[in-house]
Chain A
Amino acid sequence: MLKRLHEDRPAATVTIEFEGEKLKVLAGETVVAAVMAAGAAFVRTSAVSGAHRAPYCQMGVCFECLMEIDGVPNRQACMIPVRDGMVVKRQYGAMELDYE
């Protein structure tokens, strides 16, 4: 289980929705940090093997943290700060290409 280094420090929070569940998370942190701190365990499944995947580099390089954010699939959740009211889902397998 992941823990924040400074759990006791007072901080501003926002509320996001993760897989249909409301989460109170720290303002300014990244989406993937927020959901992992809330105990998400995995954030996507592999497009090749279907295996569960969790974030690795958390600096925009490895593409392990792809999630669906506000209806947009395959977003790098380590590069996007949380925003109040954000809707976040796991990315299951390869995204559908839905282009207007």
Chain B
Amino acid sequence: MKHSDVVVVGAGIVGASIACGIARQGVRVVLLDKRKAESRASLGNFGLVWVQGKGQGARRYAEWCHQASREFPEFVRQLLDETGIDIQYRKPGGLVLSHGEEEYLKRVTVLERLRSESRDGTYDCEMLDRQAVQRLTPKLELGANIVGASYSPHDGYLNPLALLRAVHVSFRQQGGVYHADSPVKRICYEKDRFVITTPQGQHSAEKLVIAAGLATESLAAMVGINAPVIPERGQLMVSARVQPMLSIPVSGIQQTVEGSFIVGLSNEKIGINTDTDSAIIKRMASRVRNAFPALGGLRIVRTWASLRVLTPDGLPIYQQSEACPGAFAVTSHSGVTLTPLHMNQVPEWIMKDIVPAEFDNFSSRRFHVEAVA
């Protein structure tokens, strides 16, 4: 049995960034991955670093996302310095289009709510009228039905495949040890250490972090943490490359640095199912044409589906086990957006017990069912 200081279970973007951040502290870390080519949210997602609209009724989450967005440019610079990998991060802001008056008014209400819930009564996201939106998308004429959009300067996008690779490379550069094909079958807590069993053998460590996407719930239960997660299917399509036409992500439509358009505008809670559904793809395509009629000329080369990892209330979970101190569970739907914090703040919490302000908002105790007398 190999011993290390920390074992991280789950090598998607959440687990890998936490493992990398811990390894940067000079600690011996082992990162266990289910399978190498496993389908996972980190590989199937859109690549948005997205802030606007998140955290309604949960101020701390809105702040956590804003903080991540502020730290992103420096995080990307450091990752590039270390690994030489360009993750194609851009921060042009982001738009959510209003198709018709009704959507516009709904969006106004969302922003008002976020503003009223914020600490200082401000929320840095504004409504733009049609002309102002058109100025931000000068090469693509807006559809007739678009009345405006919300705009946040904090939104951006990156290449999620490059991000995951860069974090893995950085982790190994820090001396981290990665094991593929190592699904965790059993976790035992004995005398202040954890023994983790995989088909490849056993690992022991003083600390254990579970950040395994949709597998988090069953693994966290092994160390007494209740971490409910629900899969939500998102379908995406990607076009052939065309000349640069859109430099800002627009509600589920984005042109990559290489020129492909990516579209992702669906969410369905239908369990573990990564099929694509042509009726939904068709609906997405027509919404794209309503936004920008010229994009009707795009040639779609691929569609796919991927599963988001959602908690019942959509907020992340950061929880240390009470039954087995030293065991932690982390899960978040905003795995890409929160990467800088998972790399920098979360390792401080795990290794040094430095708890970010109001972190107990993200405790999984919120899901405990009250006993009925």
Contacts and interface: CB of A to CB of B under 8 A. Distances in A.
Interface in A68-93: 74, 93
Contacts of B243: 93-97
B312 interface: no
A95 B258 contact: no
B58 interface: no
B297 A97 contact: yes
A97 B241 contact: no
B245 interface: yes
Contacts of B295: 97, 99
A94 B245 CA distance: 11
Interface string B117-161: 000000000000000000000000000000000000000000000
Nearest to A75: B299
Given A96-B242, A99-B293, A74 B258 contact: no
A83 B306 CA distance: 41
Given A47-B258, A48-B258, A63-B301, A97 B293 contact: no
A66 B239 CA distance: 13
B100 interface: no
A90 to B, nearest CB: 15
B259 A98 contact: no
A51 B241 CA distance: 15
Chain A: interface size category: 10 to 19
A99 B141 CA distance: 12
B296 interface: yes
Contacts of B301: 63
B88 to A, nearest CB: 11
Contacts of A94: 241-243, 259
Interface in B272-301: 293-299, 301
A97 B258 contact: no
B108 interface: no
B240 A66 contact: yes
A63 B295 CA distance: 20
Given A47-B258, A47-B259, A48-B258, A98 B241 contact: no
B299 A74 contact: yes
A19 B298 CA distance: 24
Interface in A11-60: 47-48
A19 B295 CA distance: 28
A47 B241 contact: yes
A50 to B, nearest CB: 12
Contacts of A47: 241, 258-259
Contacts of B298: 97
B240 A98 contact: no
B66 to A, nearest CB: 33
Nearest to A99: B297
B158 to A, nearest CB: 16
Contacts of A98: 297
Nearest to B140: A97
Given A47-B259, A48-B258, A95 B240 contact: yes
Contacts of B258: 47-48
Nearest to A49: B258
Interface of B: 240-243, 245, 258-259, 293-299, 301
25 contacts: A47-B259, A48-B241, A48-B258, A48-B259, A63-B240, A63-B301, A66-B240, A74-B299, A93-B243, A94-B241, A94-B242, A94-B259, A95-B241, A95-B242, A95-B243, A97-B242, A97-B243, A97-B245, A97-B294, A97-B297, A98-B297, A99-B293, A99-B295, A99-B296, A99-B297
